[in-house]
Chain A
Amino acid sequence: MATTDVGWIDAPAKRRPLVDRLHGWVTTVDHKRLGILYVSYGLLFLVIGGIEATILRLQLVRPHNGFVSPQVFNQMFTMHGTTMIFFVAMPLVFGFANYLVPLMIGARDMAFPRLNAFSFWLTAFSGLFLYFSFVGGFGLYGAGTAPDVGWFAYAPLTSKTFSPGHSTDYWTLALLVSGFGSIGTAVNIVATVVSMRCPGMTLGKMPLLVWLNLVMAGLVILAVSPLTAAQLMLLVDRYLGGHFFDTQAGGSAVLWMHFFWVFGHPEVYVLVLPAFAFASEIIPVFSRKAMFGYPVMVAATVAIGFISMSVWAHHMFTVGMTSAGNTFFVLTTMAIAVPTGIKIFNWLATMWGGKIYFKAPMLFCIAFLFQFLLAGLTGVMLSSAPFDWQLGNSYFVVAHFHYVIVGGILFCIFAAFYYWYPKVTGRMYSEALARVHFVLFVIGFHLTFDSMHVPGLLGMPRRIYTYEPGRGWDTWNFVVTVGVAFQAVGVLAFVFNLVLSYVRGRPAGNDPWDAWTLEWSTTSPPPEYNFASVPVVKSRRPLWDLKHPEDPDWKYE
């Protein structure tokens, strides 16, 4: 009998060459790898966006400062906002969704793995394209480089007249392309959730994270598309001589605002719903109780999704809409506070009567609850149009939305990192380092963003590269800048923890948190095929049923 060389069966696994391994990452269509790629991309740009913010704050640390020129400042705030929304928050959100949704529904991958990869690389390319503007944007008149029109790029500032050169084009094209990537991922998420759930997992038995990402995906489909349309119109204006937003030809600057905010408002719900998703998975596990009011949480989510498409002009209370128009948007905006508040109450009720473990994921979620409550309340203040006539376009608004995005969304993202780190890497992170991150970041966040409300109340508008002394803004701006240092060190501790624990963390096992959803039933990290055999579920917490056969959830749901 001829023997073939089967030495590889018994030999220890040899590491494939680096080129092979990198090629594997570049050509992957595996949702877990794409999730990691998205999240790493988002983390990288978080640091870059943070550097831009630091430059802004150094310039504003005192009045009439000369740290950067007005031109550079205006590019910095434009790039900071654009980066953080499109190349940090969206990739992080899509990354976690990509990794977790198939695992949580017992599927082997997303519905369209190749579309998944394509969407990621579109986003990745467009981010690099946007940053190329720093070196490549010079136009005919020498004006240009990075976009400096603000992240919402109001017309007619973006017309060729007021923005010669290519800086605005980098903004438009980068977001147009990344928009296609976002829509691709959203279509993928919807198809995955609708068509690929494991047997027994009806819509009413899906984890809340899956529900929230489904509604998020629906919002992306309905909201990013209007932005795509508006950007195509802007390109027609800039390059084909069109007049969509050309006020000299009878065009309307307000029309751009409507189109942009029809995108821009649901966009913030695209970012916050996944944050709610993380909180909805973490708080129950670390309170040792099932989520309180699951059906209400689903209903509230769907309600938020619908109502969020009707509130957009609360960003436009000062542009001169009619009193009836303004009043309508006051009503819808206040209305959306109701389902949002209901969610906060349900999280509290989940903790009530439970047994709270103060591990890093829960610490960040508790801070999220406190901060999101405040952010929601400042939002209610802004929803009252007359109050907004004072507060709008001031540092009060900047403080409000950073409170939501950093104090709410980013805190939940940190929580999610710590919670699922063991699953993704197979290692436990350092709890001590995580606490250092937590304390530093909470101190820094509050120093910066609590203080930031006050200059707004005292009349400081946003997007100004310097300000006048003697208006009572100086000290507050100084404190705001000081907080940046704490947040920076906190983020460093976080990144250090991620890297160090990967190398030296103790093995985590399948289920280090004693949790209840399907991802914890497979190995850490999961094999490429996720599950050896497709799971069959009977309740919302399949692993609770396994661990408590005498008292399974399906008896009570």
Chain B
Amino acid sequence: MHPARGFIDAGFTMDAIILQILNGLDKGSAYALIALGLTLIFGTLGVVNFAHGALFMLGSFCAVTLQKILSLSFTVEDPSQKDFLGNPLKVDTPYIVSWFGDATGNAILNWSVPLAILFAIPVMLLVGYVMERGLIKHFYKRPHADQILVTFGLAIVIQEIVKYFYGANPIPTPAPDAFRGSVDFGVLIGFAQNEIIYPYWRLVYFLFSALIISAVFAFLRFTTFGMVVRAGMADRETVGLLGINIDKRFTIMFGIAAAVAGLAGVMYAPINSPNYHMGMDFLVLSFVVVVVGGMGSLPGAVLAGFLLGILESFASMNEVKSLIPGIDQIIIYLVAIIILLTRPRGLMGRKGVMEE
């Protein structure tokens, strides 16, 4: 029997593998975006930001907030229908629908998640600005432990504030109708029909994150501002000595990193209903990603994000789990530990950075 046959019989068929790769790229997109922001902050400002997961969560809740704002309704009692107690039913009609008419109004409500992108960018930039000017600025020279602690406390505060206003239940934020459901991906790459089906919105998310990552890289590479930031990442003191005011640029960089995390959150809202705790869940993994990729290396963070996402996806396949039970729970941490021990600068970190 051909050896590959045994492999395929075990479940490792081509379409299963491709499905898991797609899954991994999708998960990896979220990790990569968060890790990108983290590395930006660490590389330019030298600050370890434990509140980054909370920024991701805030982005998701921007989508929730916009949905709620657009759904603000006025109540009309409709005596023809009854509610559960037998009283006249109160019917809610969103203002949007009554102003713009049924078709446009409902269309706006439907597209609330992509519209939230426009809403989230200024909000997250503002949040980032306030965070940096108000708090982070004072911690540039403090040891990393203090930075971790204060941002950890900030993450708890942000989380609790969101919980106070929105409750503890996950709040469903559906994708626009046009993107609901799935696409027959297999047909596009030459498979038979109905072999590989993948949800539309997840593909959109992957493309979106690729877009943002490219935008950030292009910004850093092709603009003067980006050039100064890259110089600052390489050697902050010299940039200051050259008479360039690095402080203002730091604030803007923090704002951009916050916006990146926020946008990752906004588009993630339809995939997993936002709840106040999602920030902490993503935080640990994001740090692991950053460390594996190399602290201070942007390509490394992105690469590590996708790699670890794919790894996690493969590890949760039944076939792999039957070989090593429980591997999906610990694979990412194992990989992180091994890399930290053998190649502490990570996959693409600069030699000599944090190697003591």
* Chain A bound to chain B: no
